[in-house]
Structure 1
């Protein structure tokens, strides 16, 4: 080590000096002394490493103290926090997918505040079932005989496969062996369940005769997977649910369909392409149907299974069900979401459906309001403009749909746009936009009306 570098290291303040600098600051009042001392040592260690690697000048006690206060600020805030979604992706997986309705939030708070009748039958005072809070709603909305809810749709599929086909073959079209987010694949889930994969058909074409030829003595289930997160177009063929059901029942085999995103509303009236609803698949005679709670349904994360009473009952008694079950807060939010559908008010009260079906003119007005809130000087410096753009549904739903939207474009240069992007992510609340063609776009389709003022203030 050079004499010069050693001298710089010696000029670093002592731990006690830094403690005197920060000891009386409001930010440190609630910090225990041992923790504060450890933070000071951590910052000084980092400063020593900086001097050794960069030949940098040492910070004085006041500057080191400021670094310590920054650490306290970062560690003292919650990691999971509200974020303004200005990406234009309605069901953004990384941002928590579906925002919940006001009623769902109210019900969560009400149930979380104290105790609840989660597993208590109030009429008999006997132990009840947590699923009873949503079973009747799901039966009524889907036409199914029974229902079960676990913590996500992958868990629902895993539970069904383990229950109905452990050690047996599951026949599925090769074109439906999908991968969902995080590299979770249907074949991998099947392997973990103990079921044996039997692929039929080709990537783009599968016929009824392919299923017929694959059924044998060890077949346990016919599985259909709706490719909700991608589309195969062109020279394609698949087997409709009704035909697969007829084959399965003729051979004494249950048929399950994994709908993925799952919707209780036909969205074609709002210009969306056809997606089979849960009700349609149940009406086709499919024995078990699984779908997500936090995608097109617009509720909390959950895996919902509806279908034949005898089969759902077997899932309920599987020991795996206890490991995969949902908690009281999720049930409260799901019940409130389903209640909106049952009351015919989902389109007016479920935020996901509101964001998907909102007319472009309303989104444009929100973007114009955001620009107006910036003020003339800031508008000029940021070169703020309202532009038309295309958003996405997200969450592995309706992959071919591009949502017409309006965004606020910011940043006269790429450097300014990147700087703004970072500043917004560090804001309170953080805001997440998209960097496109050297500009930062704040897509207002996914910015909730109540968030416009907060976004402008960031």
Structure 2
């Protein structure tokens, strides 16, 4: 009990210079909460037979408490995994122009829904629609908050209470538990499965069409491949079938692309403009994957159908905000100016020459070897990621570190500020230069050097 009496009062701790400095930075309520917490922890220690902590020890705990309480959980990270569109790390990094556009509209008022020429209310859809139509050949376009929302809006507005035909081989699940059948049920549409997992023919679709059919849905496999004994109608074949029966054909591309990935040694990822040219009525795809922009669900296609989507109440619940639209507009302008490969980080990484990767890796290895760690440049593979081009890789050069405990070393890198996310291969920690932004190179190397010293 005497030890408990030795503990300082709340007021005494709050009135000292350390606490006053913390109050100035974090506010009195949070510091008061931290002081009470530290004192309660001290009481429990004393009751368990421990000694009464000194004031300095208590204040150190108070500082740790408030710093932990105010530390952001969403913060920048360095991606050294070699996975370009890393869903867990925020998918596509934005270009400098997109970041500048986002910051410009964030710091004040904007023309989000204001027509400057008319001096009256305008529409937020204009900020990306004209660019999307020009780039894809669509008649109209709509942007919502993500591609799952885009698919949900299409099915709800065009097929609620009616049937949607889809191949069994396209009833996909992607990261985060997103399942096409679940979204279809949520929309109120009735799922009509045709064909088998590996083979679906045009005749299977035609046999399923009836008076309750609202549309045909084609979903890109996105994050897996079916190989071997397979069959699947093309977009053009399905479009011709849908047209004969006066039905819309909707294609969910998932990632989607506006540039041909085959030009960079990868398999061909379906492009929105190709699907529309082949006859798809509506195409939905993501903004933050191969497009290289912010999170968004992009719908392009027939004007009459897009107008129905725009008028549906769900469109307001799913609409994109000013930050998304500003960054998306800036991203699309890179494509219009034919500078996407030069300016958009995702495409910079995809197109990065092997000799550039080799030079960066050797520079890193030479510097890190001076810390005493064995650093070796080895051949490796980078992945596109983000549900794009499953199984496809790009040749790269890795910096392989021989450290006593790769898992422990990786944990120390994750504890850095900013955290460095690497990968482990063959019991070695490896760093892939392909996904490390130029401005992140020095912080990465310092984090590795600190991890070696610790």
Deviations 1:48-87 (A, max 9, x none): 567788x766644322321221222223333321111111
The equivalences for 1:367-378 within 5 A come to 367-374=361-368, 376=370, 378=371
- Give yes or no for the alignment of 1:65 onto 2:59: yes
| Cα contact 2:255–2:286 (8 A) shared by 1 | yes
> 8 Å contact 1:21–1:65 — kept in the other structure?
no
Alignment correspondent of 2:30: 35
Task: Report if the CA contact (8 A) 1:22-1:65 is conserved.
Answer: no
Q: Does the 8 Å CA contact 2:82/2:433 hold for their aligned counterparts? A: yes
1:3 — aligned with what? none
Q: Structure 2 CA distance, aligned partners of 1:12 and 1:214?
A: 78
Quick one: distance in 2 between partners of 1:69 and 1:87? 34
In structure 1, which of residues 426, 435, 439 is the aligned counterpart of residue 428 of structure 2? 439
Cα deviation per residue 1:247-302 (whole Å; 9 max; x = unaligned)? Answer: 11111111100000000111112111122211110001110000000001101100
Q: After superposing the two structures, state which structure 1 stretch, 441-450 or 216-225, moved more.
A: 441-450
User: Could you tell me which residue of structure 2 aligns to residue 392 of structure 1?
Assistant: 383
Residue 311 (structure 1) aligned to one of 305, 311, 315 = 305
The 1:49–1:246 alpha-carbon spacing in structure 2 relative to 1, beyond 3 Å, is farther
> Which residue is 1:401 aligned to?
392
Label 1:235 to 1:48 Cα distance change in 2 as closer, same or farther (>3 A): farther
Does 1:163 find its partner at 2:157?
yes
For 2:320, the equivalent position in structure 1 comes to 326
Task: Measure the CA separation in 1 of the matches of 2:232 and 2:185.
Answer: 24
Distance 1:236 1:435 in 2: 35
Deviations 1:196-234 (A, max 9, x none): 000011111100111111111111110000111111111
Correspondence for 1:453 among 442, 449, 454:
442
Q: Does 1:207 align with 2:188?
A: no
Distance in 2 (alpha carbons) for counterparts of 1:319 and 1:296:
29
Is the Cα–Cα contact under 8 Å of residues 190 and 196 in structure 1 kept in the other structure? yes
> Contact 1:298–1:353 at 8 Å: present in 2 too?
yes
* Aligned-partner Cα distance in 2 for 1:390–1:48: 55
Deviation at residue 437 of structure 1 after TM alignment: 3.7
Please name the residue that 1:195 is paired with.
189
Is 1:229 the counterpart of 2:223 in the alignment?
A: yes
The 1-side partners of 2:144 and 2:125 are apart by 10
Is the CA contact 2:30–2:66 (under 8 Å) kept in the aligned structure 1?
no
Following superposition, the deviation at residue 19 of structure 1 comes to 4.2
Equivalenced residue count is 447
In structure 2, distance between residues paired with 1:245 and 1:16: 75
Select which of 194, 197, 213 maps to 1:219.
213
CA distance, structure 1, for counterparts of residue 254 and residue 77 of structure 2: 26
Residues in 2 aligned to 1:399 and 1:101: alpha-carbon distance in whole angstroms: 25
How far apart are residue 149 of structure 1 and its match?
0.5
Cα distance in 2 for residues equivalent to 1:121 and 1:32: 42
Inter-CA distance 329–384: structure 2 relative to 1 (3 Å threshold): same
Matches within 5 A, 1:127-166: 127-166=121-160
Deviation at 1:444, TM superposition (A): 1.4
Report which stretch shifted further, 154-163 or 122-131: 122-131
Task: State the superposition RMSD in angstroms.
Answer: 2.2
Going from structure 1 to structure 2, the CA distance change for 1:17 and 1:442 (only over 3 Å counts) comes to farther
CA distance in 1, matches of 2:8, 2:303: 72
> Could you say if the C-alpha distance between residues 444 and 51 of structure 1 is closer, same or farther in structure 2, counting changes exceeding 3 Å?
farther
For residues 176 and 60 of structure 1, what CA distance do their matches in structure 2 show? Answer: 65
Shift of residue 102, structure 1, vs aligned partner = 0.9
Deviation, structure 1 residue 8: 7.8
Calculate the TM-score normalised by the size of structure 2. 0.92
State the TM-score, normalizing by the size of structure 1.
0.92
- CA separation of 1:47/1:97 partners in 2, compared to 1, >3 Å: closer, same or farther? farther
Unaligned ranges ≥5, structure 2: 448-454
Instruction: Give the Å deviation of 1:124.
Output: 1.5
Any stretches of 5+ residues in structure 1 without a counterpart? 1-5
1:429 aligns to what?
418
Q: Is the 8 A contact 1:17 1:61 kept in 2?
A: no
